[in-house]
Amino acid sequence: MKGNLKSELWKAFHNKMFLLALAVGLLMSAANILQNSATVAEMTESTLRLLQKDPERFVGGHGGFSLFMLWLLINISLGSLAFDFYWPILAALPYGWSYLKERRSGVYDQLVTRMGKKAYFRAKYVAVFLSGGAVVGGTALFDLLVNALICPVEMPSIAGLPPVFNGHFISMLYFRNPWLFCLAFCGLAFLWGGVTGTLCLALGTLPRFQVFVILFPYLLYYVWNMIYFQILQSFGSLPLLSPLLLIQAAPDYFNPGWAIFGVMGLVALLGSVIGYWQVTRREFS
Amino acid sequence: MNFLKLFSHDLRCGLRRKRYLLMLPIFALACASFLRVVKGMPGITWMDWVFHLFAGMEPPVIGSGEAIVLPLGFLAVMGGALLVNLDFLIADLTASGQQVLIRCGSRRGWFLSKCLWNLVSCGVYFAGVLLVAAVFCLATGGEAALTNTPAAQYWEFPFTQVRPLSAGQCLLIGIALPYLTMAALSAAQMTLCLFCKPVLAFLSCSGALLVSLYFDAGWIPGSGAILIRTSLFGGSVEPGTAIFVDLALLLGSAIAGTIRFRKQNILSAEE
């Protein structure tokens, strides 16, 4: 098992698609950082003007406007909008396609005769989970750290109209220890990336092209999101139950922990049970 | 194999796919969000349903901190066309498609046939969108008229100067522009598939839609389909500019694709 896992992990983290996924994620993050640097420069200029105009009344700071409002999973810049919209593709891009490719090329048959179907599935599942999680979580963490070099770091205050409010997951932590809040959501992004990547295994060998395997989680989440908003229209008030939006740290709707982990569990169940069936119960190609 | 035979082969193989039918429930889902408007408003027309699908969203105030609610129906309908046409070119570079390419004798003819097929495919897809809108219109007691009801647009877009438009204007911004934009983005995606991985081509073209929603500029490919931002509704997008951008993208994609395909290694295509 150890050897299989090691080789799967090596393949997952040493292929062009993994680098491509990282590049796309970093591009989204770069778009967010660029827009933030312009916003911060504007903010600093207006603060300096205020300081020169009336130094006695100047209380200092940016009124709560800081890194914790401009981070990728909170902000509403073009980069963060793109990340919120396309992150399922980032999760599937690194290694989600590998099962289909190995089935098509015959590598699957070779591997399974040596290690067995169950061991193959376990190794593949872990590799897909970790690679998807690394790209999605890594992009969020990278954006947080680079933004910290540019944006002012201030404790969020109610007066600064923060995007996080009562009803959001671990909202208290945002006001007490925002760094921990952001790191917790980076961890959540890692988990979301992982479980979303493994959804590709559920599709098995159904599509002819690997591009549709990569797009499958995105399409599933998109349709899920559309259906969720239709139901929301009928009921008026519902917690956020759409996985596409649950990755956000400050969505427009309240996202209690049970909704986040419930939906994540459901997605993980779908990926693992159907994926297990696809990989172990279906016949050789 | 002459060009007409090749083109008819493409039409036969490319249009007889179940995925056009699979998209119908998605169109229905996009239409369903308009039902709450229709409920309390008499005299809704077919064009209002079409306007709802291709309205897009009002330009966001960048840096205001206000939440941006993306038009899911618009993105699903426009992005769906990209998805439906994504693999036709690459499918025809593998398996039996290679035999057709060898027999047709001209790489330029082969690629131009694909470009024409793309136009027809987008037309079929677009007809599906219009058909679902018509079904919803008739089912809710609406009129099959080619004019709009400003109150319906005002309900969805309160900050836009909505006004009654003539049938010609409605056809221009409700049918011609969205179709052209769809076809142009789809052609660009097909050409990009020759240069990079199909998933990147999809991300680029669907990303163009997202960028056109975020920024209010008529020259961004994709903004032609956002009819609520056209100058007919007091927006910044001139229909003439949008048509020019779309035609330039269509033509540019065909030329770039033809040049690229002349040197393409047809044996390296992967499924």
Beta-ladder partners of B143:
B45
CA distance to partner chain A, nearest, from residue B36 (Å): 8
Other beta carbons within 10 angstroms of residue B270's beta carbon come to 12
Q: What percent of chain A has pLDDT over 70?
A: 95
Q: CA B18, B19, B20: angle at the middle one, nearest 5?
A: 95
- pLDDT computed for residue A192 by the predictor: 97
Of A69, A93, A252, nearest to B67 by CB-CB distance is A252
Cα–Cα distances (Å) from A35 to A22, A68, A150, A265, B60, in that order, read 20, 15, 11, 35, 15
Both tokens assigned to B250: 């269509």
pLDDT digits (tens, 9 = 90+) for A61-79: 666 678 888 899 987 889 9
Exposed / middle / buried, residue A99 (Cβ in 10 Å: 0-12, 13-18, 19+)? buried
Instruction: Answer for the pair A239, A259: CB distance below 8 angstroms, yes or no.
Output: yes
- The rounded distance, in Å, linking the Cα atoms of A279 and B197 is 26
Q: Where are the domains of chain B?
A: 3-262
* Interatomic CA distance for residues A171 and A161, integer angstroms: 14
- The CA–CA distances, whole Å, from B69 to A76, A228, B35, B202 equal 10, 14, 19, 22
The model's confidence at residue A104, banded by pLDDT at 50, 70 and 90, is: confident
Distance CA A21, CA A13 (A): 11
Number of Cβ within a 10 Å radius of residue B123:
14
The label of the residue with tokens 């070779």 reads A110
What is the average pLDDT across A85-109?
92
- Residue A20: the pLDDT is 95
What confidence score (pLDDT) does residue A191 get? 97
pLDDT classification of B139: cutoffs 50, 70, 90? very high
Residue B67 scores a pLDDT above 80: no
pLDDT of residue A164: 86
Nearest to B29 among A39, A208, A226 (CB): A226
Threshold 0.90, pTM exceeds: yes
pLDDT at B196 exceeding the cut of 80: yes
Helices (H), A54-116: 67-70, 78-92, 98-105, 107-115
Q: Which residues of chain A make contact with B36, given a CB cutoff of 8 A?
A: 233
- Contacts (Cβ under 8 Å, ≥6 apart) of A268: A195, A198
Residue A244 has pLDDT above 70, yes or no: yes
The percentage of residues in chain A with a pLDDT greater than 90, rounded to a whole number, is 62
pLDDT tens digits, one per residue of A189-219: 999 999 999 999 998 888 888 999 999 999 9
**Does A223 sit within 8 Å of B26, measured CB to CB?**
yes
Inter-chain touch B91–A89, beta carbons under 8 Å: no
Instruction: Select the residue from A19, A28, A78, A245 to test the B interface by mutation, using most B Cβ atoms within 10 A.
Output: A78
Least confident piece of the model among A207-221, B87-101, B105-119, B129-143: B87-101
